[in-house]
Chain A
Amino acid sequence: MVMAPSVPSFDGRSPDEISFEEICDAVGRVPDPEVPVLTIEDLGVLRNIEQLDGKIVVTLTPTYSGCPAMKYIDDGVRSVLAEAGHTDAIVNTVFSPAWTTEWMSQEGKEKLVAYGIAAPHSVSAAPTGSVMFTRRRPVACPQCGSTDTSVISEFGSTACKALYRCKSCSEPFDYFKEI
């Protein structure tokens, strides 16, 4: 059983006793609500944290334009910062450069597979050519490892996933799409 990452509390310490590194670590561990084994750092949704004139500035980027998790993530980051005493922190959302699955950490990809979701292929190695007739690269079943799998639907339980089925072990599974 893979557990969702926990966000550490600061045990009621005063802001002076909490280092910037601890805050970065805590913000990075805010989970993605739709794939709770992944943190926003694993996903690459957390783009930057810095201190400007004593204020902490966090920069986030959405995975998809309509990603309903962004509000939750924004709230999660703000609540961690408030707990660390930084109620004046600024949380920005940027669109450019656009999020890509290339930003997902190797650790994140391993956590995905352990959770039962096939990890995204590399975008840079994607076959080129006409978008609708591009040959699909085989996606390995996260349960049994077989690459004898087929697409059920281009969209799975969330915008970032497609739905596949494994012909070897018959399990349906989500594939985190490369974009």
Chain B
Amino acid sequence: MSSALVTYLLRLADDNLILGQRLGALVSRMPDLEEDIAVANVGLDHIGQARHLLAYAAQVEDAGRDEDDLAMLRDERSILSSVLVEQPDVDFAHTMARQLFVDAYQVPLYRALSQSSDQTLAGIAQKALKEADYHLRRSATWVVRLGDGTEESHNRMQAGIVEMWKYVDDLFVTDEVEAELVAAGIAADATALRASFDTTVAEVLAEATLELPDDSYQRTGGRTGFHTEHLGHLLPEMQSLYRAHQGAEW
């Protein structure tokens, strides 16, 4: 059970860690100063959630690794984030499409985990739920604004939705590791989250005059460490400093 719990915590943590890194890299590259601040704050929320989940994973694992080791010393095959969060920021519309999908997934996820029989996980989720709710408000507002905007913004937002949709199924991939924890009342049942996700996305896209692709290639594998090429570029940027100065105090 404890090894399954560590795996599950890493999956939850890594979504936040990798997305937080992506968003942090966008600071100073947003369309305006206010969005620079917003993207930094959303990224910070994700990094904060990752820290608490990684610290708890380290405690359950009890193998002498701490949260920093887990974030900075694992290689690509050991990172268990969904392939969605590592997708690159082609333009602001792609960034917002990715964020909408993550937010629409994390709101029901954290709501379910708030009731987890694992009290530590429930506490982290109760905190994170308020943040995810707020993130969704921002991402949904932007998707509607761009989708229901000019022809140019509509087309780019539609392109962002179509591109990011290829990686959405990976959020909901589940296996025996999770089944065991769902049965114990610890983990959220990923298949049950999908309905809530689909409803939220449909509501936002209708308002935004955007459409989901009828039939889309789906790339999965992130939960077992099979990533797209982009994670391999992101990790060195995130980890090199820590690896070069191991044991340094900041």
Interface flag for A94 (CB, 8 Å): yes
Q: Contacts A132-B136, A132-B204, A153-B34 given; indicate if A159 touches B41 (C-beta within 8 A).
A: yes
List chain B residues, Cβ under 8 A from A130.
203
In the bound complex, CA of A133 to CA of B138 (Å): 10
Q: Contacts A66-B45, A67-B48 given; indicate if A95 touches B127 (C-beta within 8 A).
A: yes
Question: With A66-B46, A132-B144 given, can you name 12 additional A-B contacts, CB distance below 8 Å?
Answer: A66-B44, A66-B51, A96-B122, A98-B129, A98-B130, A100-B130, A131-B107, A132-B136, A132-B203, A132-B204, A155-B40, A155-B41
A96 to chain B, nearest CB (A): 3
List chain B residues, Cβ under 8 A from A64.
44-45, 48, 127, 131
CB-CB nearest in chain B for A66: B48
- Chain A residues with CB under 8 Å of chain B are 62, 64-68, 94-100, 130-134, 152-159, 163, 177, 179
A sample of 17 inter-chain contacts (CB < 8 A) reads A64-B45, A65-B127, A66-B46, A66-B51, A95-B126, A98-B127, A100-B130, A130-B203, A131-B133, A132-B144, A134-B137, A153-B37, A153-B38, A154-B134, A154-B141, A177-B134, A179-B134
Name, among A96, A156, A157, A158, the residue most crowded by chain B CB atoms within 10 Å (CB to CB). A96
List chain B residues, Cβ under 8 A from A94.
123
Chain B 122-157 interface mask (CB, 8 Å, partner A; 1/0): 111011111101101110110010000000000000
B185 to chain A, nearest CB (A): 16
Chain A binding surface SS class: loop
B133 to chain A, nearest CB (A): 6
Name, among A62, A65, A157, the residue most crowded by chain B CB atoms within 10 Å (CB to CB). A65
In the bound complex, CA of A153 to CA of B119 (Å): 34
Interface flag for B47 (CB, 8 Å): yes
Interface flag for B69 (CB, 8 Å): no
Interface flag for B194 (CB, 8 Å): no
CB-CB nearest in chain A for B140: A132
A173 to chain B, nearest CB (A): 13
Interface flag for B109 (CB, 8 Å): no
Partner of B52, one of A65, A131, A132, A158: A65
List chain B residues, Cβ under 8 A from A158.
41
Is B136 in contact with A131, judged by CB distance below 8 angstroms? yes
CB-CB nearest in chain A for B33: A153
CB-CB nearest in chain B for A156: B37
List chain B residues, Cβ under 8 A from A152.
34
